[in-house]
């Protein structure tokens, strides 16, 4: 099934670069800044943002990876056992500004779980959120600080993000959900 392409590789590249500028601008520099990507596609996005910051600021921003599996409240809803990809946060979060990075912002529940997880690692000075796509339909009082593209969607659609690192190409597509999609399908 292929859907309607709303971002091509070049759009993805420009969005990440812009987000990296916004992050530095908002922080007024790179001091105390760390990036934490949410498994799975948030992680390569965080690395790209860090690379972009290095390019235009000459500063190394630490990048971590966060797996929210153990913070999910839907163990009973998944059809199979989740992959446990692992969390790597090899730096101290206390007093830092943590920018959470994910591919799609939707209901906000992933971010809620990610913030719960982060706080178990320390007490950041601030947590911000950067996403490649905001598709609306929030169910929690959460908003993104940095957004690559706002995409109006219906709940019957799914937003599929592909990245070179995980999927072989950069693209964002919108697909129509089949009426009875098999549970546990890959949905971004």
Question: The tokens of 65 are what?
Answer: 């990876």
Instruction: Name the burial class of residue 29, with classes exposed (0-12), middle (13-18) and buried (19+) by CB atoms within 10 angstroms of its CB.
Output: exposed
Residue 123's SS3 state is: coil
Q: Is 7 exposed, middle or buried (0-12, 13-18, 19+ CB in 10 A)?
A: buried
Nearer to other proteins, 59 or 166 (CB): 166
In whole angstroms, how close is the CB of 138 to other proteins at the nearest point? Answer: 10
- How far apart CA 145 and CA 94 sit, in angstroms, is 21
C-alpha 69/C-alpha 145 separation (Å) is 24
Q: Tell me which DSSP letter residue 26 carries.
A: H
Least spacing, CB of residue 23 vs other proteins, in Å: 21
DSSP SS3 for 3:
coil
d(CA 68, CA 118): 9
Task: Report, in Å, the least distance between residue 5 CB and other proteins.
Answer: 20
Cis peptide before 40 (omega within 30 of 0): yes
Q: Choose between 27 and 69: whose C-beta lies nearer to other proteins.
A: 69
The β-bridge partners of 129 are 100
Rounded to the nearest whole angstrom, what is the least distance from the CB of residue 145 to other proteins in the complex? 17
> Given the complex with other proteins, which of 28 and 180 has the nearer CB atom?
180
Indicate the residue among 8 and 84 with the shorter CB distance to other proteins: 84
Between 28 and 186, CB nearer to other proteins: 186
Closer to other proteins by CB, 120 or 164: give it.
120
Residues that bind other proteins (CB under 8 A): 40, 67-88, 104-110, 113, 116-117, 120-122, 139, 155-156, 158, 177, 179-188
Shortest spacing between CB 25 and other proteins, in angstroms: 27
In angstroms, give the least distance from the CB of 44 to other proteins. 15
Q: Which two tokens stand for residue 91?
A: 């730096």
């Amino acid at each position: 099934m292929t859907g309607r392409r709303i971002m091509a590789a070049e759009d993805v590249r420009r969005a990440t670069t812009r987000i990296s500028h916004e992050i530095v601008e908002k922080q007024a520099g790179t001091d105390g800044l760390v990036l934490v990507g949410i498994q799975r596609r948030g992680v390569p996005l965080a690395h790209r943002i860090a690379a972009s910051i290095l390019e235009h600021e000459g500063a190394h921003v630490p990048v971590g990876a966060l797996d929210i599996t153990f913070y999910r409240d839907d163990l009973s809803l998944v059809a199979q056992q989740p992959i446990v990809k692992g969390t790597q946060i090899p730096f101290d979060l206390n007093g830092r500004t943590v920018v959470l990075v994910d591919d799609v912002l939707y209901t906000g529940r992933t971010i809620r779980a990610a913030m719960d997880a982060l706080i178990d690692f320390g007490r950041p000075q601030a947590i911000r959120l950067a996403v490649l796509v905001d598709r609306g339909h929030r169910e929690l009082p959460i908003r993104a600080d940095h957004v690559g593209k706002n995409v109006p969607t219906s709940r019957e659609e799914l937003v599929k993000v592909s990245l070179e690192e995980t999927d072989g190409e950069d693209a964002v597509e919108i697909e129509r959900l089949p009426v009875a999609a098999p549970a546990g399908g890959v949905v971004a």
